[in-house]
Structure 1
């Protein structure tokens, strides 16, 4: 029987071999610092090569009206748009607005959810970026009653 440490060592060894041979997807190493440092939705979309985001009924944002605990706010994004490359989840008043980026391929349904930290009441955005560089968003204000960022 293999323990967790042995399994992790083997997984890292396989990943190392794949990376050394160039078979490991480059996107797995990709980190877009400009996007995660962005202070606005438009700046984050621009960092992923998209134009100014426009509101769309084809992008859905799931978030509570009131978050009792800002440390764990459930948020989700989905879209029915064709040709979507990325889905972003953003919290406008967070120190780093971009909370999560999900890559979409034809084999992946454009429907994701996660949990975010929110230190204060803020607009939350779901942004869909298409392969042709267009950005579409949905937004919702989430009221935070107990801050999650050290509050």
Structure 2
């Protein structure tokens, strides 16, 4: 029986699984959006976004790495990653300085989780990408410039 359950879970995509759990009433919208920070995602400037996240003025750190291509041929799908060796990381955020809304993604990490996230973001133009990490209640940041040759945010 246990092997059957694993086989079903492996064959169902993450989105479909969440949809099934929501349809069954196991996951409610309140649970799914428990850590939603609307004001941070709605903020237009970097300063407003950092304020909404409670980050103030983060410290630059070589222990935070932001990865991505030097040149993105299509701004609609730019692969970006963040990794850090800092202890007790509880949150990782990706911010794009010149996008209409600076905050592209946040990840809330459970205790003892390795801080290594990957995603794809939209970029309207060449911009700095900021990786923001919360470690032991303090915020740290790293930056990388990505040049965009074809816009993805309405460009």
TM tier, smaller: 0.7 to 0.9
- In the alignment, structure 1 segments of 5+ residues that lack a partner are none
SS in structure 2 of the partner of residue 148 of structure 1: coil
TM-score (norm 1): 0.80
Does 2:139 align with 1:135?
yes
Whether the aligned pair in 2 keeps the contact of 1:126 and 1:137 (CA below 8 Å) is yes
CA distance in 1, matches of 2:110, 2:97: 27
66-75 or 106-115, larger mean C-alpha shift: 106-115
TM-score (norm 2): 0.78
- Residue in 2 that maps onto 1:49: 54
Q: 1:10 to 1:126 in 2, by over 3 A?
A: closer
- C-alpha displacement of 1:39: 3.1
Does 2:74 align with 1:69?
yes
- Count of matched residue pairs: 142
Whether the aligned pair in 2 keeps the contact of 1:84 and 1:131 (CA below 8 Å) is yes
Whether the aligned pair in 1 keeps the contact of 2:45 and 2:101 (CA below 8 Å) is no
- Residue in 2 that maps onto 1:144: 148
Please tell me the root mean square deviation across aligned C-alpha atoms, in Å.
2.7
Whether the aligned pair in 1 keeps the contact of 2:50 and 2:56 (CA below 8 Å) is yes
- In the alignment, structure 2 segments of 5+ residues that lack a partner are 1-7
What aligned pairs does 1:115-130 form with structure 2 within 5 A after superposition?
115-130=120-135
CA distance in 1, matches of 2:109, 2:85: 12
